[in-house]
Chain A
Protein backbone atom coordinates (compact mmCIF):
# COMPACT_ATOMS: atom_id res chain seq x y z
CA UNK A 1 0.00 0.00 0.00
CA UNK A 2 1.55 3.33 -1.03
CA UNK A 3 1.93 5.92 1.66
CA UNK A 4 -0.08 8.51 -0.26
CA UNK A 5 -3.09 6.32 0.30
CA UNK A 6 -3.20 7.61 3.83
CA UNK A 7 -2.86 11.20 2.74
CA UNK A 8 -5.51 11.21 0.07
CA UNK A 9 -8.80 12.20 1.66
CA UNK A 10 -10.67 11.14 -1.46
CA UNK A 11 -9.84 7.54 -0.79
CA UNK A 12 -11.10 7.71 2.75
CA UNK A 13 -14.30 5.83 2.09
CA UNK A 14 -14.97 2.23 2.94
CA UNK A 15 -11.61 0.99 1.77
CA UNK A 16 -11.94 -2.10 3.93
CA UNK A 17 -14.77 -3.41 1.75
CA UNK A 18 -12.35 -3.87 -1.12
CA UNK A 19 -9.71 -5.81 0.83
CA UNK A 20 -10.41 -9.52 0.75
CA UNK A 21 -9.25 -12.02 3.39
CA UNK A 22 -6.54 -14.27 1.94
CA UNK A 23 -5.59 -17.76 3.08
CA UNK A 24 -2.24 -17.61 1.23
CA UNK A 25 -0.96 -14.43 2.81
CA UNK A 26 1.17 -14.32 5.94
CA UNK A 27 -0.42 -11.35 7.69
CA UNK A 28 1.50 -9.12 10.05
CA UNK A 29 -1.46 -9.30 12.40
CA UNK A 30 -4.72 -11.14 12.83
CA UNK A 31 -7.24 -9.58 15.21
CA UNK A 32 -9.95 -11.80 16.63
CA UNK A 33 -13.09 -9.86 17.56
CA UNK A 34 -14.88 -6.80 16.17
CA UNK A 35 -15.94 -4.93 19.30
CA UNK A 36 -14.39 -1.67 20.58
CA UNK A 37 -11.05 -3.35 21.44
CA UNK A 38 -10.69 -5.19 18.12
CA UNK A 39 -11.78 -2.27 15.95
CA UNK A 40 -9.51 0.19 17.75
CA UNK A 41 -6.61 -2.26 17.43
CA UNK A 42 -7.27 -2.58 13.68
CA UNK A 43 -7.11 1.17 13.14
CA UNK A 44 -3.88 1.52 15.13
CA UNK A 45 -2.34 -1.45 13.32
CA UNK A 46 -3.31 -0.18 9.91
CA UNK A 47 -1.83 3.24 10.64
CA UNK A 48 1.41 1.45 11.46
CA UNK A 49 1.14 -0.14 7.99
CA UNK A 50 0.65 -3.62 9.38
CA UNK A 51 -1.17 -5.93 7.01
CA UNK A 52 -4.15 -6.86 9.11
CA UNK A 53 -7.00 -9.34 9.04
CA UNK A 54 -9.91 -9.01 11.45
CA UNK A 55 -12.11 -12.05 12.09
CA UNK A 56 -15.39 -11.53 13.90
CA UNK A 57 -18.86 -12.96 14.36
CA UNK A 58 -20.30 -9.45 14.03
CA UNK A 59 -19.05 -5.91 13.95
CA UNK A 60 -19.99 -3.82 16.94
CA UNK A 61 -19.65 -6.02 19.98
CA UNK A 62 -21.28 -5.43 23.34
CA UNK A 63 -22.01 -1.68 22.93
CA UNK A 64 -24.83 -2.84 20.63
CA UNK A 65 -26.53 -4.09 23.78
CA UNK A 66 -26.32 -0.75 25.54
CA UNK A 67 -28.99 1.86 25.13
CA UNK A 68 -27.31 5.03 26.25
CA UNK A 69 -23.62 5.74 26.70
CA UNK A 70 -22.71 8.86 28.62
CA UNK A 71 -19.13 8.10 29.59
CA UNK A 72 -17.34 7.65 26.27
CA UNK A 73 -15.34 10.85 26.01
CA UNK A 74 -16.19 13.11 23.10
CA UNK A 75 -19.87 12.28 23.27
CA UNK A 76 -22.10 13.67 25.99
CA UNK A 77 -24.68 11.12 24.92
CA UNK A 78 -24.63 8.48 22.23
CA UNK A 79 -26.51 5.22 21.71
CA UNK A 80 -24.52 1.98 21.70
CA UNK A 81 -25.62 1.37 18.17
CA UNK A 82 -24.46 4.79 16.93
CA UNK A 83 -21.10 4.49 18.67
CA UNK A 84 -20.54 1.06 17.10
CA UNK A 85 -21.39 2.46 13.70
CA UNK A 86 -18.90 5.30 14.17
CA UNK A 87 -16.19 2.79 15.15
CA UNK A 88 -17.01 0.67 12.11
CA UNK A 89 -17.02 3.61 9.68
CA UNK A 90 -13.64 4.73 10.97
CA UNK A 91 -12.23 1.19 10.70
CA UNK A 92 -13.48 0.76 7.14
CA UNK A 93 -11.50 3.79 5.96
CA UNK A 94 -8.38 1.68 6.32
CA UNK A 95 -7.18 -1.25 4.20
CA UNK A 96 -8.10 -3.93 6.72
CA UNK A 97 -9.30 -7.33 5.52
CA UNK A 98 -12.47 -8.22 7.43
CA UNK A 99 -13.98 -11.66 7.73
CA UNK A 100 -17.47 -11.51 9.25
CA UNK A 101 -19.77 -14.30 10.46
CA UNK A 102 -16.87 -16.51 11.44
CA UNK A 103 -14.91 -17.07 14.62
CA UNK A 104 -11.63 -18.64 15.66
CA UNK A 105 -11.90 -22.25 16.67
CA UNK A 106 -8.26 -23.05 17.34
CA UNK A 107 -4.92 -21.28 17.34
CA UNK A 108 -1.70 -23.06 16.40
CA UNK A 109 1.83 -21.85 17.02
CA UNK A 110 3.91 -22.15 13.84
CA UNK A 111 7.43 -21.41 12.76
CA UNK A 112 6.65 -17.98 11.29
CA UNK A 113 4.01 -17.09 13.85
CA UNK A 114 0.52 -18.46 14.23
CA UNK A 115 -2.31 -19.94 12.28
CA UNK A 116 -5.97 -19.50 13.12
CA UNK A 117 -8.47 -22.21 12.23
CA UNK A 118 -12.03 -20.85 11.97
CA UNK A 119 -15.40 -22.41 12.68
CA UNK A 120 -16.25 -22.46 8.96
CA UNK A 121 -13.10 -24.45 8.26
CA UNK A 122 -10.88 -21.67 6.89
CA UNK A 123 -7.28 -21.16 7.94
CA UNK A 124 -5.32 -17.91 8.11
CA UNK A 125 -1.73 -17.15 9.10
CA UNK A 126 -0.07 -14.19 10.81
CA UNK A 127 3.11 -13.17 12.57
CA UNK A 128 1.19 -11.81 15.57
CA UNK A 129 -2.29 -12.10 17.06
CA UNK A 130 -4.56 -9.86 19.08
CA UNK A 131 -7.40 -11.58 20.88
CA UNK A 132 -10.33 -9.25 21.54
CA UNK A 133 -13.22 -11.68 21.46
CA UNK A 134 -15.13 -10.21 24.41
CA UNK A 135 -17.79 -12.00 26.37
CA UNK A 136 -21.08 -13.72 25.63
CA UNK A 137 -24.19 -14.66 27.56
CA UNK A 138 -23.58 -17.70 29.71
CA UNK A 139 -25.72 -20.68 28.79
CA UNK A 140 -27.18 -23.21 31.20
CA UNK A 141 -25.98 -26.18 29.16
CA UNK A 142 -29.08 -28.30 29.82
CA UNK A 143 -31.10 -30.49 27.43
CA UNK A 144 -33.68 -28.54 25.41
CA UNK A 145 -31.92 -25.19 25.84
CA UNK A 146 -30.21 -24.95 22.43
CA UNK A 147 -33.20 -26.35 20.53
CA UNK A 148 -35.59 -23.83 22.06
CA UNK A 149 -33.54 -20.63 21.67
CA UNK A 150 -35.87 -18.05 20.13
CA UNK A 151 -38.79 -20.37 20.87
CA UNK A 152 -39.21 -19.34 24.47
CA UNK A 153 -35.61 -19.57 25.66
CA UNK A 154 -34.25 -16.02 25.82
CA UNK A 155 -30.95 -14.47 26.84
CA UNK A 156 -32.08 -10.88 26.24
CA UNK A 157 -35.02 -10.28 28.57
CA UNK A 158 -35.26 -6.64 27.56
CA UNK A 159 -35.74 -7.71 23.93
CA UNK A 160 -38.20 -10.52 24.30
CA UNK A 161 -40.14 -9.82 27.54
CA UNK A 162 -42.93 -7.88 25.74
CA UNK A 163 -43.76 -11.06 23.77
CA UNK A 164 -44.77 -12.88 26.98
CA UNK A 165 -47.78 -10.83 28.00
CA UNK A 166 -49.91 -12.69 30.56
CA UNK A 167 -47.76 -15.80 30.22
CA UNK A 168 -46.05 -17.87 32.91
CA UNK A 169 -42.28 -17.59 32.78
CA UNK A 170 -39.13 -18.57 34.66
CA UNK A 171 -36.08 -16.37 35.25
CA UNK A 172 -32.84 -18.20 35.97
CA UNK A 173 -30.18 -16.49 38.07
CA UNK A 174 -29.78 -14.41 41.19
CA UNK A 175 -27.54 -11.52 40.19
CA UNK A 176 -28.36 -8.02 38.97
CA UNK A 177 -29.24 -9.10 35.46
CA UNK A 178 -31.71 -11.71 36.75
CA UNK A 179 -33.32 -9.21 39.13
CA UNK A 180 -33.57 -6.59 36.37
CA UNK A 181 -35.15 -9.26 34.22
CA UNK A 182 -37.74 -9.98 36.95
CA UNK A 183 -38.53 -6.26 37.25
CA UNK A 184 -39.05 -6.05 33.46
CA UNK A 185 -41.28 -9.11 33.42
CA UNK A 186 -43.39 -8.01 36.42
CA UNK A 187 -45.03 -5.44 34.15
CA UNK A 188 -45.86 -8.07 31.55
CA UNK A 189 -46.05 -11.70 32.67
CA UNK A 190 -48.81 -13.47 34.61
CA UNK A 191 -46.58 -15.55 36.86
CA UNK A 192 -42.83 -15.48 37.41
CA UNK A 193 -40.64 -18.16 38.97
CA UNK A 194 -37.19 -16.96 40.04
CA UNK A 195 -34.88 -19.95 40.03
CA UNK A 196 -31.48 -19.58 41.65
CA UNK A 197 -29.04 -22.36 42.42
CA UNK A 198 -27.75 -20.56 45.49
CA UNK A 199 -29.72 -20.01 48.71
CA UNK A 200 -29.55 -16.24 48.57
CA UNK A 201 -29.70 -13.55 45.91
CA UNK A 202 -26.44 -11.95 44.82
CA UNK A 203 -28.09 -8.92 43.22
CA UNK A 204 -28.04 -5.39 44.66
CA UNK A 205 -30.34 -4.80 47.68
CA UNK A 206 -31.93 -1.86 45.86
CA UNK A 207 -33.17 -4.19 43.10
CA UNK A 208 -34.43 -6.72 45.65
CA UNK A 209 -36.33 -3.94 47.39
CA UNK A 210 -37.83 -2.81 44.10
CA UNK A 211 -39.20 -6.29 43.47
CA UNK A 212 -40.76 -6.42 46.94
CA UNK A 213 -42.35 -3.00 46.70
CA UNK A 214 -43.92 -3.15 43.27
CA UNK A 215 -47.65 -2.47 42.92
CA UNK A 216 -48.63 -5.72 41.26
CA UNK A 217 -48.27 -8.07 44.23
CA UNK A 218 -49.71 -10.99 42.27
CA UNK A 219 -46.70 -11.03 39.96
CA UNK A 220 -44.06 -10.91 42.64
CA UNK A 221 -41.83 -13.83 41.75
CA UNK A 222 -42.19 -17.20 43.41
CA UNK A 223 -38.63 -17.74 44.59
CA UNK A 224 -37.15 -21.18 44.12
CA UNK A 225 -33.75 -21.00 45.80
CA UNK A 226 -31.26 -23.81 45.93
CA UNK A 227 -32.63 -25.33 42.73
CA UNK A 228 -30.69 -26.01 39.56
CA UNK A 229 -32.25 -26.39 36.13
CA UNK A 230 -31.96 -29.87 34.65
CA UNK A 231 -34.09 -29.63 31.52
CA UNK A 232 -36.17 -27.28 29.40
CA UNK A 233 -39.09 -29.10 27.81
CA UNK A 234 -41.13 -28.42 24.69
CA UNK A 235 -41.61 -29.34 21.04
CA UNK A 236 -41.91 -26.26 18.84
CA UNK A 237 -41.84 -23.94 21.81
CA UNK A 238 -41.06 -23.98 25.53
CA UNK A 239 -43.68 -25.78 27.59
CA UNK A 240 -41.94 -26.56 30.88
CA UNK A 241 -38.81 -26.39 32.95
CA UNK A 242 -37.58 -29.12 35.28
CA UNK A 243 -35.57 -28.17 38.36
CA UNK A 244 -33.84 -30.15 41.05
CA UNK A 245 -33.17 -29.24 44.69
CA UNK A 246 -29.94 -30.01 46.51
CA UNK A 247 -31.62 -32.95 48.21
CA UNK A 248 -32.46 -34.41 44.80
CA UNK A 249 -36.15 -33.58 44.68
CA UNK A 250 -37.30 -32.59 41.16
CA UNK A 251 -40.16 -30.33 40.10
CA UNK A 252 -41.57 -29.55 36.69
CA UNK A 253 -43.03 -26.08 36.24
CA UNK A 254 -45.28 -25.23 33.29
CA UNK A 255 -43.91 -22.09 31.64
CA UNK A 256 -43.79 -20.72 28.10
CA UNK A 257 -40.72 -18.57 28.58
CA UNK A 258 -37.33 -19.20 30.18
CA UNK A 259 -35.15 -16.13 30.65
CA UNK A 260 -31.57 -17.11 31.30
CA UNK A 261 -29.69 -14.36 33.12
CA UNK A 262 -26.63 -15.99 34.62
CA UNK A 263 -24.07 -13.47 33.52
CA UNK A 264 -21.35 -13.43 30.91
CA UNK A 265 -18.45 -15.71 30.05
CA UNK A 266 -15.27 -14.76 28.18
CA UNK A 267 -14.91 -16.11 24.64
CA UNK A 268 -11.59 -17.74 25.39
CA UNK A 269 -12.25 -21.46 24.77
CA UNK A 270 -10.11 -21.55 21.62
CA UNK A 271 -7.11 -20.22 23.56
CA UNK A 272 -7.24 -23.05 26.11
CA UNK A 273 -3.91 -24.84 26.43
CA UNK A 274 -2.04 -22.15 24.51
CA UNK A 275 -2.61 -19.16 26.77
CA UNK A 276 -2.83 -18.80 30.52
CA UNK A 277 -6.35 -18.06 31.75
CA UNK A 278 -7.45 -16.88 35.22
CA UNK A 279 -10.12 -18.54 37.39
CA UNK A 280 -12.85 -16.70 35.45
CA UNK A 281 -11.41 -18.07 32.18
CA UNK A 282 -10.23 -14.58 31.19
CA UNK A 283 -6.96 -14.34 29.28
CA UNK A 284 -4.17 -13.16 31.58
CA UNK A 285 -2.41 -10.06 30.26
CA UNK A 286 0.34 -7.86 31.65
CA UNK A 287 0.21 -4.05 31.59
CA UNK A 288 1.52 -4.07 27.99
CA UNK A 289 -1.38 -6.27 26.81
CA UNK A 290 0.96 -9.26 26.42
CA UNK A 291 -0.39 -12.75 27.04
CA UNK A 292 1.60 -15.74 28.27
CA UNK A 293 2.60 -16.54 24.66
CA UNK A 294 5.19 -14.44 22.86
CA UNK A 295 3.58 -12.64 19.90
CA UNK A 296 0.00 -12.96 21.13
CA UNK A 297 -1.67 -9.91 22.64
CA UNK A 298 -5.14 -9.56 24.10
CA UNK A 299 -7.49 -6.65 24.83
CA UNK A 300 -10.97 -5.83 26.10
CA UNK A 301 -13.48 -7.83 28.10
CA UNK A 302 -11.92 -11.22 27.27
CA UNK A 303 -8.85 -10.26 29.33
CA UNK A 304 -8.08 -10.17 33.04
CA UNK A 305 -8.22 -6.35 33.01
CA UNK A 306 -10.79 -5.64 35.75
CA UNK A 307 -12.64 -2.68 34.26
CA UNK A 308 -15.14 -3.78 31.64
CA UNK A 309 -15.75 -0.43 30.01
CA UNK A 310 -15.93 0.62 26.35
CA UNK A 311 -13.31 3.30 26.76
CA UNK A 312 -10.98 0.89 28.57
CA UNK A 313 -11.50 -1.80 25.91
CA UNK A 314 -10.73 0.70 23.14
CA UNK A 315 -7.62 1.90 24.98
CA UNK A 316 -6.43 -1.65 25.57
CA UNK A 317 -7.01 -2.36 21.86
CA UNK A 318 -4.73 0.54 20.95
CA UNK A 319 -2.09 -0.70 23.41
CA UNK A 320 -2.25 -4.22 22.01
CA UNK A 321 -1.82 -3.01 18.41
CA UNK A 322 1.16 -0.82 19.30
CA UNK A 323 2.56 -3.74 21.31
CA UNK A 324 2.24 -6.02 18.27
CA UNK A 325 3.93 -3.38 16.12
CA UNK A 326 6.86 -3.06 18.52
CA UNK A 327 7.12 -6.83 18.73
CA UNK A 328 7.41 -7.06 14.92
CA UNK A 329 9.97 -4.24 14.72
CA UNK A 330 12.15 -5.79 17.40
CA UNK A 331 11.96 -9.19 15.77
CA UNK A 332 13.40 -7.98 12.46
Chain B
Protein backbone atom coordinates (compact mmCIF):
# COMPACT_ATOMS: atom_id res chain seq x y z
CA UNK B 1 0.00 0.00 0.00
CA UNK B 2 1.28 3.42 -0.84
CA UNK B 3 2.24 5.65 2.07
CA UNK B 4 1.33 8.88 0.31
CA UNK B 5 -2.25 9.25 -0.79
CA UNK B 6 -3.23 10.44 -4.23
CA UNK B 7 -3.94 14.00 -3.11
CA UNK B 8 -0.54 14.37 -1.46
CA UNK B 9 1.23 12.89 -4.48
CA UNK B 10 -0.55 15.33 -6.80
CA UNK B 11 0.32 18.24 -4.51
CA UNK B 12 3.98 17.16 -4.37
CA UNK B 13 4.13 16.86 -8.15
CA UNK B 14 3.16 20.52 -8.38
CA UNK B 15 5.44 21.53 -5.52
CA UNK B 16 8.44 19.73 -6.96
CA UNK B 17 8.14 21.36 -10.39
CA UNK B 18 10.02 24.31 -8.97
CA UNK B 19 12.91 22.27 -7.51
CA UNK B 20 16.23 23.69 -8.65
CA UNK B 21 19.19 21.61 -7.50
CA UNK B 22 19.46 18.00 -6.52
CA UNK B 23 18.86 17.03 -2.89
CA UNK B 24 20.56 13.94 -1.46
CA UNK B 25 18.83 12.05 1.31
CA UNK B 26 20.91 9.62 3.33
CA UNK B 27 18.51 7.21 5.01
CA UNK B 28 19.45 4.86 7.84
CA UNK B 29 17.33 1.89 8.88
CA UNK B 30 17.83 -1.22 10.93
CA UNK B 31 16.51 -4.69 10.38
CA UNK B 32 15.49 -5.38 13.96
CA UNK B 33 11.82 -5.41 15.01
CA UNK B 34 12.59 -2.56 17.35
CA UNK B 35 12.40 -0.02 14.54
CA UNK B 36 8.68 0.33 14.14
CA UNK B 37 8.74 2.95 11.42
CA UNK B 38 11.86 2.12 9.35
CA UNK B 39 9.90 0.34 6.64
CA UNK B 40 7.28 3.09 6.38
CA UNK B 41 9.95 5.79 6.26
CA UNK B 42 11.85 3.95 3.53
CA UNK B 43 8.68 3.46 1.47
CA UNK B 44 7.76 7.10 1.92
CA UNK B 45 11.19 8.30 0.77
CA UNK B 46 11.04 6.04 -2.27
CA UNK B 47 7.63 7.39 -3.19
CA UNK B 48 8.90 10.96 -2.82
CA UNK B 49 11.97 10.23 -4.90
CA UNK B 50 9.75 8.72 -7.59
CA UNK B 51 7.99 12.06 -7.97
CA UNK B 52 11.12 14.07 -8.80
CA UNK B 53 14.46 13.11 -10.32
CA UNK B 54 16.02 15.88 -8.27
CA UNK B 55 15.55 13.87 -5.06
CA UNK B 56 18.05 11.06 -4.53
CA UNK B 57 17.79 8.55 -1.71
CA UNK B 58 20.65 6.34 -0.48
CA UNK B 59 19.71 3.63 1.99
CA UNK B 60 22.06 2.36 4.69
CA UNK B 61 21.74 -0.15 7.50
CA UNK B 62 22.94 1.24 10.80
CA UNK B 63 24.27 -2.15 11.95
CA UNK B 64 25.92 -3.19 8.72
CA UNK B 65 27.30 0.15 7.54
CA UNK B 66 28.84 1.52 10.70
CA UNK B 67 31.38 3.75 8.94
CA UNK B 68 28.61 5.72 7.24
CA UNK B 69 26.54 5.78 10.43
CA UNK B 70 29.39 7.33 12.38
CA UNK B 71 30.26 9.69 9.52
CA UNK B 72 26.75 11.13 9.67
CA UNK B 73 26.51 10.77 13.46
CA UNK B 74 23.50 8.46 13.30
CA UNK B 75 22.86 6.45 16.47
CA UNK B 76 19.19 5.57 16.08
CA UNK B 77 16.69 4.78 13.33
CA UNK B 78 14.83 5.71 11.27
CA UNK B 79 17.12 8.64 10.46
CA UNK B 80 17.48 10.93 7.47
CA UNK B 81 20.48 13.20 6.84
CA UNK B 82 20.03 15.94 4.26
CA UNK B 83 22.81 16.77 1.81
CA UNK B 84 22.78 19.32 -0.99
CA UNK B 85 23.58 18.73 -4.67
CA UNK B 86 27.33 18.90 -3.96
CA UNK B 87 26.80 16.32 -1.19
CA UNK B 88 27.58 18.90 1.46
CA UNK B 89 26.08 17.84 4.78
CA UNK B 90 23.60 20.59 5.71
CA UNK B 91 23.63 19.52 9.36
CA UNK B 92 19.94 18.61 9.22
CA UNK B 93 18.63 15.31 10.62
CA UNK B 94 15.16 13.84 10.91
CA UNK B 95 14.96 11.10 13.56
CA UNK B 96 11.69 9.20 13.40
CA UNK B 97 9.26 9.21 10.49
CA UNK B 98 8.54 12.76 9.29
CA UNK B 99 4.84 12.06 8.83
CA UNK B 100 1.73 13.83 10.13
CA UNK B 101 2.43 17.49 10.79
CA UNK B 102 6.16 16.89 10.30
CA UNK B 103 5.63 15.95 6.68
CA UNK B 104 5.46 19.66 5.88
CA UNK B 105 8.70 20.32 7.81
CA UNK B 106 10.38 17.63 5.76
CA UNK B 107 9.09 18.78 2.36
CA UNK B 108 9.82 22.45 3.13
CA UNK B 109 13.37 21.50 4.12
CA UNK B 110 13.89 19.60 0.87
CA UNK B 111 12.62 22.60 -1.09
CA UNK B 112 14.89 24.95 0.86
CA UNK B 113 18.01 22.86 0.19
CA UNK B 114 17.08 22.50 -3.46
CA UNK B 115 16.54 26.24 -3.88
CA UNK B 116 19.72 27.15 -2.00
CA UNK B 117 17.77 29.84 -0.14
CA UNK B 118 16.73 29.62 3.50
CA UNK B 119 14.36 32.57 3.31
CA UNK B 120 15.63 33.95 6.62
CA UNK B 121 15.90 37.72 7.12
CA UNK B 122 19.15 39.29 5.86
CA UNK B 123 19.89 40.33 9.42
CA UNK B 124 19.46 36.80 10.72
CA UNK B 125 21.85 35.48 8.07
CA UNK B 126 24.49 37.97 9.15
CA UNK B 127 24.18 36.89 12.77
CA UNK B 128 24.33 33.21 11.80
CA UNK B 129 27.52 33.74 9.74
CA UNK B 130 29.27 35.02 12.84
CA UNK B 131 28.52 31.96 14.95
CA UNK B 132 31.81 30.16 15.44
CA UNK B 133 30.98 27.71 18.22
CA UNK B 134 29.24 24.39 17.53
CA UNK B 135 25.53 24.62 18.27
CA UNK B 136 23.37 21.52 18.48
CA UNK B 137 19.61 22.03 18.32
CA UNK B 138 17.29 19.18 19.23
CA UNK B 139 13.57 19.68 18.62
CA UNK B 140 11.29 17.07 20.18
CA UNK B 141 7.96 16.82 18.39
CA UNK B 142 4.91 14.63 18.05
CA UNK B 143 3.35 14.02 14.66
CA UNK B 144 0.05 15.46 15.89
CA UNK B 145 1.48 18.79 17.06
CA UNK B 146 0.55 21.78 14.89
CA UNK B 147 2.95 24.11 16.75
CA UNK B 148 5.98 21.94 16.02
CA UNK B 149 6.69 22.35 12.27
CA UNK B 150 7.48 26.10 12.46
CA UNK B 151 10.16 25.36 15.08
CA UNK B 152 11.65 22.46 13.11
CA UNK B 153 11.70 24.53 9.93
CA UNK B 154 13.45 27.41 11.69
CA UNK B 155 16.06 25.14 13.28
CA UNK B 156 16.72 23.61 9.86
CA UNK B 157 17.09 27.04 8.29
CA UNK B 158 19.62 28.02 10.95
CA UNK B 159 21.55 24.77 10.33
CA UNK B 160 21.46 25.42 6.58
CA UNK B 161 22.86 28.93 6.94
CA UNK B 162 25.59 28.09 9.45
CA UNK B 163 28.30 25.44 9.18
CA UNK B 164 28.47 25.36 12.96
CA UNK B 165 24.81 24.68 13.64
CA UNK B 166 23.22 21.26 13.47
CA UNK B 167 19.51 20.61 13.81
CA UNK B 168 17.69 17.42 14.76
CA UNK B 169 13.99 16.72 14.63
CA UNK B 170 13.13 13.93 17.07
CA UNK B 171 9.74 12.23 17.18
CA UNK B 172 9.29 11.85 20.93
CA UNK B 173 7.00 8.80 20.79
CA UNK B 174 9.56 6.85 18.73
CA UNK B 175 12.42 7.58 21.10
CA UNK B 176 10.68 7.47 24.47
CA UNK B 177 13.86 6.75 26.44
CA UNK B 178 15.54 9.82 25.02
CA UNK B 179 12.36 11.84 25.54
CA UNK B 180 12.33 10.74 29.17
CA UNK B 181 16.00 11.65 29.57
CA UNK B 182 15.14 15.18 28.50
CA UNK B 183 11.90 15.12 30.50
CA UNK B 184 9.73 15.87 27.47
CA UNK B 185 6.15 16.32 28.72
CA UNK B 186 5.07 18.84 26.13
CA UNK B 187 6.05 19.60 22.56
CA UNK B 188 7.73 21.33 20.88
CA UNK B 189 10.61 21.06 23.34
CA UNK B 190 13.89 22.54 22.17
CA UNK B 191 17.28 21.66 23.64
CA UNK B 192 20.27 23.74 22.61
CA UNK B 193 23.74 22.39 23.42
CA UNK B 194 22.26 20.20 26.15
CA UNK B 195 21.77 23.17 28.46
CA UNK B 196 19.30 25.69 27.12
CA UNK B 197 15.76 24.29 27.27
CA UNK B 198 12.80 25.94 25.58
CA UNK B 199 9.16 24.95 25.25
CA UNK B 200 6.58 26.12 22.76
CA UNK B 201 6.64 28.03 19.49
CA UNK B 202 9.37 30.60 18.87
CA UNK B 203 9.68 33.45 16.38
CA UNK B 204 12.73 33.77 14.13
CA UNK B 205 14.13 36.71 16.10
CA UNK B 206 13.45 35.17 19.50
CA UNK B 207 14.94 31.77 18.63
CA UNK B 208 18.01 33.37 17.04
CA UNK B 209 18.62 35.57 20.04
CA UNK B 210 18.84 32.50 22.28
CA UNK B 211 21.20 30.74 19.87
CA UNK B 212 23.38 33.84 19.76
CA UNK B 213 23.51 33.90 23.56
CA UNK B 214 24.42 30.20 23.82
CA UNK B 215 27.15 30.67 21.18
CA UNK B 216 28.95 33.31 23.24
Q: Do chains A and B stick together as partners?
A: yes
Question: Which residues of A are in contact with B by a Cβ distance under 8 Å?
Answer: 14, 17, 58-59, 64-67, 77, 79-82, 100-101, 149-152, 154, 156, 158-163, 165, 184, 237, 257
What distance in Å separates the Cβ of B143 from its nearest Cβ neighbour in chain A? 8
Kindly identify which residue among B142, B146, B203 contacts A162, using a CB–CB cutoff of 8 Å: B142
CB atoms of A81 and B146 under 8 A apart: yes
CB distance from B189 to the nearest CB of A (A): 8
Distance between B40 CB and nearest chain A CB, rounded to angstroms? 16
* Chain A contact surface mostly: mixed
A134 to B61, CA, bound (A): 49
**Closest B residue by C-beta to A164:** B185
Contact of A156 among B145, B150, B179, B183 (CB under 8 A): B145
A100, B104: Cβ atoms closer than 8 Å: no
23 sampled A-B residue pairs with Cβ under 8 A? A58-B203, A65-B146, A65-B147, A66-B146, A67-B146, A81-B101, A81-B146, A81-B149, A100-B206, A101-B203, A101-B206, A149-B186, A156-B146, A158-B146, A159-B186, A160-B142, A160-B186, A161-B144, A162-B142, A163-B172, A163-B184, A165-B176, A257-B185
Partner of B144 from A58, A59, A82, A159 at Cβ < 8 Å: A159
B130-169 residues at the A interface, CB under 8 angstroms: 142-150
Asked whether A159 and B203 contact (CB < 8 A) given A79-B104, A82-B104, A150-B185, the answer is: no
Whole-angstrom distance between the alpha carbons of A158 and B101 in the complex?
11
Residues of chain B within 8 A (CB-CB) of A149 are 186
Is B193 part of the binding interface, using a Cβ–Cβ cutoff of 8 Å? no
Decide: A163 and B173 in contact? CB cutoff 8 A. yes
B7 contacts the other chain (CB 8 A): yes
- With A17-B123, A82-B104, A100-B205 already in contact, 5 other A-B pairs whose C-beta atoms are closer than 8 Å: A14-B121, A81-B101, A101-B206, A151-B186, A156-B145
The smallest beta-carbon distance between A22 and chain B, in angstroms, is 18
Q: A238 — nearest CB in chain B belongs to which residue?
A: B185
CA distance A164 to B185 in the complex (A): 8
Known: A80-B146, A101-B206. A163 touches B185 (CB 8 A): yes
Q: Is B18 an interface residue (CB 8 A)?
A: no
- Quick check: B148 and A159 within 8 Å, CB to CB? yes
Are the CB atoms of A162 and B144 closer together than 8 Å?
yes
Whether B110 sits at the interface, judged by CB under 8 Å, is no
CB contacts (< 8 Å) of B45 on chain A: these are none
Are B147 and A150 neighbours in the complex by a CB distance under 8 Å? no
Contact A163 B187 (CB under 8 A): yes
Specify which chain B residues have a CB less than 8 angstroms from the CB of A65 in the assembled complex: 146-147
Q: Which 8 pairs, one residue from A and one from B, show the smallest C-beta to C-beta distance?
A: A159-B145, A162-B173, A150-B186, A162-B142, A158-B144, A150-B199, A160-B186, A65-B146
Task: Chain B residues near A257: list those with CB within 8 A.
Answer: 185
Does residue B11 face the partner (Cβ distance < 8 Å to A)? yes
Contact with A along B30-41 (1 / 0, CB 8 A): 000000000000
Using CB atoms, name the residue of chain A closest to B187: A159
**In the assembled complex, how far is the CB of residue B3 from the closest CB belonging to chain A, in whole angstroms?**
18
CB distance from B27 to the nearest CB of A (A): 23
Contact partner of B121 (CB less than 8 A), chosen from A17, A64, A165, is A17
- Inter-subunit contact A156/B147 (CB<8 Å): yes
If the complex has contacts A58-B203, A156-B145, A156-B147, are A67 and B185 also in contact, measured as CB distance less than 8 A?
no
B123 neighbours in A (Cβ, 8 Å): 17
Report how far A154 CA is from B187 CA in the complex, Å: 10
Q: Which residues of B contact A237 (CB under 8 A)?
A: 183, 185
The answer on a CB contact under 8 Å between B144 and A81 is: no
In whole angstroms, how far apart are the Cα atoms of A257 and B11 in the complex? 38
- In the bound complex, what is the Cα–Cα distance between A161 and B145 (angstroms)? 10
Q: Let me know if A154 and B186 touch, CB within 8 A.
A: yes
Determine whether the beta carbon of B142 is less than 8 Å from that of A163. Answer: yes
